[in-house]
Structure 1
């Protein structure tokens, strides 16, 4: 059975957020009919849904988390190599994201992170080597 993951995030500006995520490897731009959300694809089983913050709050029934003071979630993605982890984080930073320090090597697990333009935290990791 194949399971597709949909990562849903509130954003301040759909087009700016979509441009950011395309710069680090997400593809496409499928807006919803009402224009309040947009779907991008990382691969066939990982989709990113960006929602205008007000629409996200309406959909969830709760206020959007203030990412400057708290974390709702950390999105973790595995990459095929340490170099790919570094490349993706470097691309995110070049596109305006915030680096979360140097890579951490914990004996077989290499990890680096960044915050996107809306403050959502992403962790990229490689298992192996």
Structure 2
């Protein structure tokens, strides 16, 4: 069975959010994008849906989290190398995002994090299971 995940994120400025995510090297799927939403392909089975806040509110009547003062969630992406971690986070910062804390290096695991333009928290990590300490 193939499972896909479609995180839906509210955004204040859809055009700016599309530019941000495509600057990270992710693809915009125009077939599932319109004036209210943008489909961003992160990986084969991961597609982030960026939704204008007004449109996002039609899916849930609760108040949209203020990501400047509250934690909504943390989205974690595993990538193929330490270099890819740095490449992706550096691209996010160059595109207007903000680094979220210091890099974490556990030897077998390396990660960095960023906030996108709307304050959504993304962790990017590489894990080398062959170098993981054995107990």
In the superposition, the TM-score normalised over structure 2's length comes to: 0.89
CA contact (8 A) 1:92 1:116 kept: yes
Matched, 1:26 2:29: no
Over aligned residues, Cα RMSD in angstroms? 1.4
In the superposition, the TM-score normalised over structure 1's length comes to: 0.92
Rg larger for: 2
> Any gaps of 5 or more consecutive residues in structure 2?
none
Moved over 3 A (4+): none
Q: Secondary structure in 2 aligned to 1:59?
A: coil
Q: Secondary structure in 1 aligned to 2:56?
A: helix
CA contact (8 A) 2:14 2:52 kept: yes
Measured in 1, the distance between the counterparts of 2:79 and 2:29 equals 23
**Counterpart residue number, 1:119:** 119
More strand by share: 1
| Cα shift at 1:107 | 3.5
Q: How many residues end up aligned between the 2 structures?
A: 128
> Any gaps of 5 or more consecutive residues in structure 1?
none
Q: Secondary structure in 2 aligned to 1:21?
A: helix
